[in-house]
Amino acid sequence: MKVASIGNLNFDIYLRISELPGPDENIEALDLYTGGGGSAANFAVAIARMGLGARFIGAVGDDPLGDISLRELLAEGVEVAVKRVTGVRSGVVVVLVHPDGIKRMVSFRGANLGLTPADLTPDKFEGVNHIHLATGRTELITKAKEIAREVGASVSVDGGTALARKGLEIVRATVEGVDVVFMNHVEAKMLANTGDHRSAVEKLAKELKVGELVVTLGPLGAVAYRGGKLLHVDAFKVAALDTTGAGDSFAAAYIAMHLRGRDLYEKLLFANAAAAIKVTRPGARSSPRYDEVRSFLESLGYKI
């Protein structure tokens, strides 16, 4: 099985802080670390660690940060099909991490915006069984859906806040026919225009013509809707260090189990476990391997 992931590749700079600075105020960072980022690239690394073939499709600048980012992906066994954008810096994200693991991010998209629908050609998807779109760019999602039909691949979308902000009508048209759609509870409530995540999921389940709708709830776990069935699985209680990339780890674990033909409960349980392990580690690319997740679950009495 091979999975292609489309979207951003960034260089992340993490600053662990105890509080946010005020205007014209300077505070001391508690820690500094760097690493690869970008939801699509994080997903590609996570899916490779799940034991599946991984290919990343995106764009980077012709600069040292782009070189570093690509080397990190290759070191993880991820195939890369990237567009080099000259005269533009590679994407960079500054992540402010609080002691409780909650993050705030400032993003410079840079060369990521250089990826266009014309770059998504069938040859880049040779041998691909599943296409994951970690992007809110509707033009890329629409083109990838066309390619998926050509190559016989299934499709998942994790559009983030960027997609949710476009409104329900646009999102409905964009994700129609997609096999799995991921979003977090904030995005779901924004899209459904409600303050309650359950009513948001119920509304979106009726509005979106997709195979499965999966909404992550942070420490409350996750819910999934498929074929008239709504299922909630609780999160595992862990001490969070850094939540960056937890959603990408969750999505990769879910898709790995989806492609292995597991049922809805098994997919949610496994994905929750992968996210729980990830948040105990620093950085967006600290997702666990398949055997780590299995061992974690078995230690708690679950059989997968």
Q: pLDDT-based confidence at 244, cuts 50/70/90? A: confident
CB-based burial, 123-143: b 16+ in 10 Å, e otherwise: ebbeebbbbbbbbbbbebbbb
User: Stretch 144-150: mean pLDDT, rounded?
Assistant: 96
d(CA 94, CA 192): 30
Res. 100: pLDDT tops 90: no
User: Stretch 137-145: mean pLDDT, rounded?
Assistant: 97
Count CB-CB contacts under 10 A for residue 211.
17
Res. 261: pLDDT tops 90: yes
pLDDT digits (tens, 9 = 90+) for 41-53: 999 999 999 999 9
**pTM summary value:** 0.93
**Residue 246 · residue 292 · CB < 8 Å:** no
Domains and CATH numbers, the chain: 2-20+29-299 (3.40.1190.20)
Task: Report the amino acid identity of residue 40.
Answer: A
Percent of the chain with pLDDT over 70: 100
* The residue to which tokens 């402010």 are assigned: 96
Rounded (10°) CA dihedral 143, 79, 161, 172: 30
How big is the chain, counted in residues? Answer: 304
Q: pLDDT-based confidence at 125, cuts 50/70/90? A: very high
What does R_g of the chain's alpha carbons equal in angstroms?
18
pLDDT digits (tens, 9 = 90+) for 201-214: 999 999 999 999 99
Q: pLDDT-based confidence at 20, cuts 50/70/90? A: confident
Rounded (10°) CA dihedral 284, 289, 295, 296: 10
What is the pairing mode between strands 53-61 and 103-108?
unpaired
Q: pLDDT-based confidence at 172, cuts 50/70/90? A: very high
Q: Which two tokens mark 93?
A: 């994200």
Three-state SS sequence of 45-108: HHHHHCCCEEEEEEEEECCHHHHHHHHHHHHCCCEEEEEEECCCCCEEEEEEECCCCCEEEEEE
